[in-house]
Structure formats: structure tokens, C-alpha cells
């Protein structure tokens, strides 16, 4: 597949993970090698069901979906139904998936693909780092075998979204994050391999979708009605009980995002949603969407108020080699333009 970018997506599907899957499926340059599942937004078994249903909605039943570890390395399982809904997809309802779950473990899928295609595959992690940490413990050469690792995780010069200084994906399994950050840093320092590329809340909260964007996506898909008249009257069409869009992907997105937007209206003071994970996938496909700074980052494990914090040494006071390329700026308008265009095009192709 000349000209494509091979990806493995490790997800905890979740609303924004589902949009990341749709973005990847809609991107012609993306070769989705596999999708592996981990608990986070919802429990891991619900994650794999959501993932298979979303990929089926996108027409991608060809992609292997594998369940990895169903609990953090050390800590109890935490999920966030108040953010993503009881099933993880907001107000949306999708049919049960028809294609079976892979009989392989997600950790095996990551290791086997990296060994089979050394230096080719980029891993994009959109949830807690449990699967990656276990893969690293079993195959320490993984940073050398993969082309790169892009993660949505952390808060570097930005408030947290779980505790004052911590971000959800790192919070759920900080021990796994510490293993992964350390392993990648050691490999980059010793062998010159690429560092991890981290998109934290610093940039992902710039990726903000609002009802106007959903209307634009509906129009790009040729879906009717597009609710533009309601918007022109100052009404919010996404307050409806269920989307009435004719296109199934547009209906799904509107119903899923309405829950997410209601959450952000309660806690963040705006009616819209941060779509963290699609930005990470977009940056893995096109690094020009972000600007990074290389720094040393470690994970706090023992703080009474700060466990799970991504501690970033911006001034270099540790004297340690930098181990992470942290995104400090993102071209959010261009990303949103691509999201609407690409997912709208996918939706149009799946209209029947």
C-alpha cells in the first residue's frame, strides 16, 4: 500500500475515540493495521463492542479488533459514564457488531505486528497506557520495532481534567504511563529512535467541535435535514431527543456528541466538546498539524494530590535527557476543516 501510513490504534472507545476511529477510516493515507482495546472511558469489554460497532458503521469490518488487558496494572478500574454515557457512546445507539472479536490478545497484536513490519507502524494510543506497558515488559525492543508512538495523554502546561494537574488517560493507569515514558526515553537516548509525541490537554482542548460543525458535516455528507434553519433562529438542533438526519454516520455523531456537549456545558461553560483523540490521529497522519517541544517528562506515582501528573521539566533543572516531544501548539482550525471534510465524505459514501 504505497503512500499509506500504517497505524495501530489503541482505544478506550468513548465518544472521542469513536470519532478518532471514524477520522482514521475516512483518511485515505491511513492503513489501519489493527485496533486494540483497553478499559478507560468504559470497561474494556464494552470498549471492544463499541469499537466493532463503530468500525462496522464506517464499513470497516476488515479491521482486526482485539481486546487487551481489562484492568490497570496496579490500581482499581475507573470509568467515566458521566462523561461518555453508560455505554460510552453518549445518546447514540448502534446495533451489536456482526463481526467477531479477534481471538488474539491486543498486546499480542501490537507485538506481532511490530515484529512482522519493523520500522513501519505508528502506534496511536487514545486511552490509558496499560496495553502498551505490558507490551513493553514483554518486548523491550518495541520502541525500536515501531516507527513511532503518538499519544493523547497528559497535561503539561495546562490544568487537568480529572484532578487539578492530571489528565484522565494518565490518571487511570499512571504505573503504565511511567513504564511507557521511561522505556521510550531510554530507547531514544541510547539508540536515537524517535521520542514519543504527546498531545496533552494543552493542545487537544483547542480541538473544539460545536453544533455548527455538526451541521457542516451533515451538509458535506448530503444528509437531510441539516437543521440549518433551527440554527439560524438561534435554536440548538442538537437538543432533540434523537438526530433526524438521514445519514447513519451523521445521526450517530449528532447523538453521541449531544451527550458530550451537555457534559461540557455543565462543567466547562460552553455547549460544544473537546475531541481530543481525533486530533492525535490527525497529528500521527500529518505531524505538521502540531508544533512540539522536546523535554523530560516523568509520571508522579506517590503524590497525595498529584498522582498521575505528567511532570514536565521545562527549564531543564533535572539535567535528564529529554524523552518526549510535547505538543505545544496545534492548527485546530485546519484540523476541524479536515475532520468535517473527511468524515463528511465517509458519511456520504455510507449513505445507503
Q: What is the tally of structural domains in the chain?
A: 1
From the list 107, 103, 89, the residue with the least C-alpha distance to 53 is 89
Q: What percent of the chain has pLDDT over 70?
A: 93
Which residue in the list 84, 91, 264, 276 is annotated as catalytic? 276
Quick: pLDDT tens for 207-261: 999 999 999 999 999 998 665 544 555 556 555 557 778 899 999 999 999 999 9
251-7-328 Cα angle (round to 5): 85
- H helices of the chain, where? 15-26, 44-57, 81-84, 106-116, 130-138, 142-145, 168-172, 174-191, 201-204, 211-221, 228-232, 248-267, 276-285, 332-349
Place of cell 469490518: 61
Is 287 inside a domain boundary?
A: yes
Question: What's the confidence (pLDDT) of residue 97?
Answer: 97
Give the C-alpha separation, 87 to 89, whole Å.
6
For residue 293, give its domain range: 5-207+274-328
Residues 6+ apart with CB under 8 A from 108: 66
Give the C-alpha separation, 209 to 205, whole Å.
10
- Calculate helix-pair angle for 276-285, 332-349, nearest 10 degrees: 90
Q: Do 202 and 160 touch, CB atoms closer than 8 A?
A: no
Question: What's the confidence (pLDDT) of residue 312?
Answer: 97
Q: Tell me the mean pLDDT in the region 165-189.
A: 92
Question: What's the confidence (pLDDT) of residue 192?
Answer: 72
Q: Residue 351 — pLDDT band, cuts 50, 70, 90?
A: confident
Question: What's the confidence (pLDDT) of residue 251?
Answer: 92
Rounded to the nearest integer, the mean pLDDT of the chain is: 93
Q: Tell me the mean pLDDT in the region 57-66.
A: 98
Question: What's the confidence (pLDDT) of residue 284?
Answer: 98
291-34-209 Cα angle (round to 5): 45
User: Got the DSSP string for 62-97?
Assistant: TS-EEE--SS-SSSPP---HHHH-TTSSTT---PPP
158 is catalytic: no
Question: What's the confidence (pLDDT) of residue 225?
Answer: 65
Q: What percent of the chain has pLDDT over 90?
A: 87
Residues 6+ apart with CB under 8 A from 314: 157, 295
* Res 35 pLDDT > 80: yes
Is 74 inside a domain boundary?
A: yes
Place of cell 523491550: 140
Question: What's the confidence (pLDDT) of residue 141?
Answer: 95
Is 115 inside a domain boundary?
A: yes
Give the C-alpha separation, 107 to 207, whole Å.
30
**CATH classification of the domain holding 89:** 3.90.245.10
From the list 88, 124, 131, the residue with the least C-alpha distance to 106 is 131
Question: What's the confidence (pLDDT) of residue 3?
Answer: 81
Q: Are strands 297-299 and 310-312 parallel, antiparallel or unpaired?
A: antiparallel
Q: Which of 131-140, 153-162, 220-229, 255-264 has the lowest mean pLDDT?
A: 220-229
Is 98 inside a domain boundary?
A: yes
Question: What's the confidence (pLDDT) of residue 235?
Answer: 59
Is 213 inside a domain boundary?
A: no
Quick: pLDDT tens for 297-318: 999 999 999 999 999 999 999 9
Quick: pLDDT tens for 318-328: 999 999 999 99
Is 240 inside a domain boundary?
A: no
Is 10 inside a domain boundary?
A: yes
Q: Do 310 and 200 touch, CB atoms closer than 8 A?
A: yes
Is 346 inside a domain boundary?
A: no
Give the C-alpha separation, 50 to 56, whole Å.
10
Q: How many residues does the chain have?
A: 352
* Res 171 pLDDT > 70: yes
Q: Which of 11-20, 47-56, 156-165, 210-219 has the lowest mean pLDDT?
A: 210-219
Amino acid at each position: 500500500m504505497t503512500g499509506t501510513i500504517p497505524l495501530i490504534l489503541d482505544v478506550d472507545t468513548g465518544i472521542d475515540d469513536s470519532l478518532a476511529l471514524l477520522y482514521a477510516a475516512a483518511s485515505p493515507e491511513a492503513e489501519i493495521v489493527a485496533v486494540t482495546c483497553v478499559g478507560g472511558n468504559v470497561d474494556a469489554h464494552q470498549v471492544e463492542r463499541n469499537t466493532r460497532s463503530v468500525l462496522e458503521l464506517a464499513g470497516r469490518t476488515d479491521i482486526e479488533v482485539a481486546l487487551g488487558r481489562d484492568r490497570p496494572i496496579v490500581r482499581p478500574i475507573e470509568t467515566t459514564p458521566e462523561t461518555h454515557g453508560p455505554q460510552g457512546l453518549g445518546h447514540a445507539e448502534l446495533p451489536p457488531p456482526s463481526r467477531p472479536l479477534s481471538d488474539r490478545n491486543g498486546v499480542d497484536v501490537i507485538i506481532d505486528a511490530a515484529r512482522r513490519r519493523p520500522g513501519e507502524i505508528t502506534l496511536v494510543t487514545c486511552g490509558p497506557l496499560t496495553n502498551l506497558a505490558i507490551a513493553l515488559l514483554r518486548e523491550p525492543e518495541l520502541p525500536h520495532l515501531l516507527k513511532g508512538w503518538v499519544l493523547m495523554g497528559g497535561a503539561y502546561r495546562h490544568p487537568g481534567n480529572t484532578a487539578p494537574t492530571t489528565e484522565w488517560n494518565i490518571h487511570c493507569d499512571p504505573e503504565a504511563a511511567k513504564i511507557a515514558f521511561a522505556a521510550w526515553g531510554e530507547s531514544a537516548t541510547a539508540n536515537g529512535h524517535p521520542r514519543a509525541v504527546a498531545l496533552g490537554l494543552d493542545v487537544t482542548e483547542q480541538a473544539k467541535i460545536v453544533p455548527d460543525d455538526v451541521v457542516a458535516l451533515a451538509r458535506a455528507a448530503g444528509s437531510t435535514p441539516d437543521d440549518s434553519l433551527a440554527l439560524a433562529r438561534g435554536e440548538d438542533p442538537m437538543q432533540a431527543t434523537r438526530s433526524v438526519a438521514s445519514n447513519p454516520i451523521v445521526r450517530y455523531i449528532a447523538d453521541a456528541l449531544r451527550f458530550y456537549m451537555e457534559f461540557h456545558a455543565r462543567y466547562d461553560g460552553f455547549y460544544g466538546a473537546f475531541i481530543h483523540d481525533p486530533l492525535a490521529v490527525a497529528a500521527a497522519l500529518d505531524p505538521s498539524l502540531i508544533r512540539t517541544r522536546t523535554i523530560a517528562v516523568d509520571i508522579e506515582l506517590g503524590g497525595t494530590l498529584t498522582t498521575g501528573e505528567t511532570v514536565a521539566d521545562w527549564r531543564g533543572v533535572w539535567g535528564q535527557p529529554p524523552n518526549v516531544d510535547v505538543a505545544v501548539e496545534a492548527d485546530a482550525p485546519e484540523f476541524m476543516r479536515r475532520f468535517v471534510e473527511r468524515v463528511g465524505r465517509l458519511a456520504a459514501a455510507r449513505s445507503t
